[in-house]
Amino acid sequence: MKKMIIASTSTIYGSGYLDYLLPTLQTHFKGIKTILFIPYARPGGISYEKYTTIASKAFAKINVTVKGIHEYENPKKAILNAEAIFTGGGNTFELVNQLYKNDVLSDLKLVLENGIPYLGTSAGSNICGVTMMNTNDMPIVYPPSFTTLGCIPFNINAHYIDPIKNSKHMGETRETRIKEFHVFNETPVLGLREGSWLSVEDTKITLQGKYTARLFKQGEEPKELESGVEVLI
């Protein structure tokens, strides 16, 4: 009975860390006293301690304590005994690398499938898909595998952006990159715009937030999904 929030980003323009999600998180984590934070993606190369402090300040606003997984002697036990879990954004390659290095990917999948409340943002959302192959991040490390949690039957492209009209930029658009992916891979991809998130309740996946999302399937034209609709693959 999965209970997950899979968000494109932790921070939207003009707002503080997680502020736009806090009303939703207050309900999502109702009754939870302590959240286990996985800071492995370490955005900007910051330390686990600094990243955990950032998360702690945000969750203090809804009276929830945060403790980083690095503070535990045994990360596997930390995950298996967690009340709730939050995986933050940063570099998805490093996040996945550390999940494999610490041998906790299967444990994380197990507790999420059993209904432990989960929040993922950015890289922490990318790992919810079948693979991490639609991340936008630079491959700064080489994880043992691109296979991730598979808690949803498609991949996430977080921070999805549309081509800018009249732009003189000559590089590939995000849509072009995803079409390249579908030359060799069948897994559907959801382009999740900043300010949007997925609410997962068991097998039901619903798009939430202010914006549409863009669903890509191999051999098909991309489809815009309205906020509030169930994502059906």
User: Which positions are annotated as active-site residues?
Assistant: 122, 137, 159
Residue recorded with tokens 């939050």: 86
CB 9 within 8 A of CB 159: yes
Residue recorded with tokens 């009340």: 83
Cβ contacts of 216-220, under 8 Å, gap ≥ 24: 216/175, 216/178, 216/179, 216/182, 216/188, 216/189, 216/190, 216/191, 217/182, 217/188, 218/182, 218/185, 218/186, 218/188, 219/182
Between CA 167 and CA 174, with CA 173 as vertex, the angle to 5 degrees is: 135
The tokens describing 178, both together, are 């995803």
The tokens describing 62, both together, are 């809804």
**In 3-state terms, what secondary structure has residue 34?**
strand
